A and B are shown apart, each in its own frame.
Chain A
C-alpha cells in the first residue's frame, strides 16, 4: 500500500497505523506532529489511525526558532 509522506510516496504494510509509519521512518512519536489528509491528528490517536491507500501525511516537528 502506498501513501504520500511529506510529499514523497512511501510503501507501508497493510493495516499500518500512523504510529507504525512514524517508527518506520526512524522517529519517536512523542516528538512528531501529524497532519493526516489535511487534518491535525491528535497524538493519542497515532496508534489507532489506520493508513489507507493514497493517504497524505505531513510529519512535522518542533525546531529551533524565535
Chain B
C-alpha cells in the first residue's frame, strides 16, 4: 500500500479520500457510527433556520467530533450567489471552519448547480478568505474558471444528487482530471462502492458520498464498504491501470502445447 498518499486540499492533509455527507441517516447515532466506519476526515452539514416551536432534542454537532473531522458546511438551499455567500458568512461567524462546500442549485427536480451563480459566489468567497469547494456539473471549462478564481478543489457530479446512478460523466470528468491543478472530487450520484472505485481509478483525488451510505440497509456496513472501494480505486490508479484492448491477449503461454496423440 502507498505508505504516504494524503489528499491535500488548500495545504491541509487528509489520510482519507472519502468525504461523507450527513443527510438522510435514520438517527444521529447511526450517522456517527457510519462516519467512524468510513474513516472519513471531512464531513458536510447544511444550515437551516431553527424551528423555534420545536427546539428540544440533541444537536447534530454533538455527534460530529470537531477534533476528528473537518466540518464542511454546505450552502444548500442557496438559489443564487448572494444567498450562498450569506450562508457561508453565517457559518464562519458562528465559529465553523472557513471552508465551504459551495452549492447553488436553484432548480429542484435535478438539483443541477447553476454555473454562473456558482462562479460569482466562488469569486466572492475566495476574496472573503474562504476555502471554497464548489459543486459543479462535469464541465471542464467551468472547472478551469473556478480554479483560476482560487477554488481549493472542483467537485463535478457523477450523476444527479441522490440518484445512485454512478459516474455517468466519465469522459468530462477525465478531461477535468487531466487539466486540473487542484484536487478533483466527484460529488453526487455515486450509488455503490464500485462507483467510487471507478471514479478513483480514473484518477480523481477524492469522492463525496452521502445518500448511498445513509439509506443503505446497514449504513455502517456500507460506510466501511465505501472506504474499501475508495481505497481499492486509489491503489489501482497508483498501480497504473492497464489500457483496454479490443481483442484477446492470452494470459497463458501460446507455446509448448501437448502434441496430438
A interface with B by C-beta (< 8 Å):
5-6, 8, 10, 25-28, 31-35, 40-43, 58-66
Interface 1/0s, chain B 42-59, versus A by CB < 8 A?
A: 001111111010011001
Asked if A63 and B89 sit within 8 Å, CB to CB, the answer is no
Size category of the B interface is 35 or more
* A46 CB to nearest B CB, Å: 9
Chain B residues contacting A31 (CB-CB under 8 Å) are 59, 61-62
The distance in angstroms between the C-alpha atoms of A61 and B61, with both chains bound, is 9
Chain B residues contacting A8 (CB-CB under 8 Å) are 52
Asked if A40 and B23 sit within 8 Å, CB to CB, the answer is no
Asked if A64 and B91 sit within 8 Å, CB to CB, the answer is no
Given known contacts A25-B55, A26-B55, A27-B50, is B45 in contact with A64 (CB within 8 Å)?
yes
Given known contacts A31-B59, A31-B61, A60-B50, is B95 in contact with A65 (CB within 8 Å)?
no
Q: Does B73 contact A (CB under 8 A)?
A: yes
B interface with A by C-beta (< 8 Å):
21-25, 31, 44-50, 52, 55-56, 59-62, 71, 73-74, 76, 86, 89-96, 161-162, 188, 208, 210-211
Name A35's closest neighbour in chain B (CB-CB): B90
Chain B residues contacting A62 (CB-CB under 8 Å) are 45-47, 59-61, 71, 73, 96
Chain B residues contacting A65 (CB-CB under 8 Å) are 21-23, 44-46, 74, 76
Asked if A32 and B94 sit within 8 Å, CB to CB, the answer is yes
Given known contacts A6-B50, A59-B50, is B55 in contact with A66 (CB within 8 Å)?
no
Asked if A63 and B45 sit within 8 Å, CB to CB, the answer is yes
* A25 CB to nearest B CB, Å: 5
Chain B residues contacting A40 (CB-CB under 8 Å) are 86, 89-90, 92-94
Name B21's closest neighbour in chain A (CB-CB): A66
* A22 CB to nearest B CB, Å: 9
Q: Which of A40, A60, A64, A66 has the most CB of B within 10 A?
A: A66
Name B210's closest neighbour in chain A (CB-CB): A66
Q: Which of B90, B94, B210 has the most CB of A within 10 A?
A: B94
The distance in angstroms between the C-alpha atoms of A32 and B61, with both chains bound, is 10
Chain A residues contacting B21 (CB-CB under 8 Å) are 65-66
Asked if B25 and A64 sit within 8 Å, CB to CB, the answer is yes
Name A21's closest neighbour in chain B (CB-CB): B52
Q: Which of A27, A35, A60 is close to B55, meaning CB atoms less than 8 Å apart?
A: A27
The distance in angstroms between the C-alpha atoms of A66 and B131, with both chains bound, is 17
Those 6 A-B pairs whose CB atoms lie nearest each other, nearest first: A65-B46, A66-B21, A66-B210, A40-B93, A33-B94, A26-B55
Q: Which of A25, A43, A66 is close to B94, meaning CB atoms less than 8 Å apart?
A: A43
The distance in angstroms between the C-alpha atoms of A62 and B45, with both chains bound, is 6
Chain B residues contacting A26 (CB-CB under 8 Å) are 55-56
Chain B residues contacting A33 (CB-CB under 8 Å) are 47, 90-91, 93-94
